[in-house]
Structures are given as C-alpha cells and as structure tokens.
Amino acid sequence: MKAKLCHRLLIPSLVGLGSLISSVHASGTSGELPEALANARFYAWGMVGTPGQISEEELAARIVAKEWSSGQVVASILHANLEGRIYLLCIMQRKFPSDYARAKSLAGLSAGQRVSIFSGSVLRKVDAGDLIRQLEASHCAPLGWPQ
C-alpha cells in the first residue's frame, strides 16, 4: 500500500520537474528569457524552502549561464524583474567579467531598492545595493555557483 502511494506521489512530481526543466531549457536556448527569470520570485542559490529544493529560478539561471553568450545575457537584463536581474548580474560577473560593468549599469539596481532573497527556509527583503556589493566582493562564490 505504501509503495503504491509513493509511486502515485513520486511519478507526477518527477513528470512535473521534467516538464519544468524542458520549458526552462526550451526558452533558454531560444534566446527568450525564461519566465522564471523574467518574473523571479526571489534570489537564491542552493536548496531552499521546505522541503529543500533547487528553485525554478536557479534552474533557469544555470541553463542561461551554460548556454547563453554575454550579449544574450546583457540584452535580456531589461526583460527581468529586480530579482531576475540579480541572477543575470551574477552570471555576468562569474562568466563574463569584462562585460559586468555594462550589465550592472543596464540593470539599474541601486541602494534603496528592495529585493527578495531566500536563504534556507527564510524569505526576506534586502537592499539591492548591499546585495550587489556582497556579490561583487564574493564573485558569487559562496552561493553554490556552477563552475
């Protein structure tokens, strides 16, 4: 009985995750900013929430980081909300540091703007300027960034 219940819950979850990855991957390769970054709910790397899972936003950011050129990332910055722009800036800083200043200027994030970040199971608002300074100092390294 428990095995049947487990299969009933696990199979749809895996199918749903597969569809999510496919849709993120499809939009990521077409040059269109994935919805998960265009309207990011928060900025976070690694396992978040309960139960701990990698967010849709991170999955989309990893695909963009792997498959997009610097020009594609820069061109998409204005199509993302504030949290999505943070992901894109992190991609620029890690993969395309020579173009980071231009991307940061386009992103238009400044002190006083508040962005949502998710750390573990805590969702909170932080100052965008402070977060940008922290990311620049660390090169996004402590955030479980994919190499």
Q: How many domains does the chain have?
A: 1
Residue 118, CA atoms < 13 Å, CB-side half-sphere:
22
Contact 126, 114 (CB under 8 A): yes
* Domain region containing 125: 2-143
Q: One digit per residue, pLDDT tens: the chain, 147 residues?
A: 545 544 444 344 433 444 444 444 434 445 799 999 999 999 988 888 777 888 999 999 999 999 999 999 999 999 999 999 999 999 999 999 999 999 999 999 988 899 999 887 888 999 999 999 988 988 886 445 544
3-state secondary structure of 113: coil
Contact 55, 118 (CB under 8 A): yes
Residue 115 gets the label, from left (phi > 0), alpha (psi -120 to 50) or beta, of beta
Cβ-based neighbours of 8, under 8 Å, separated by 6 or more: none
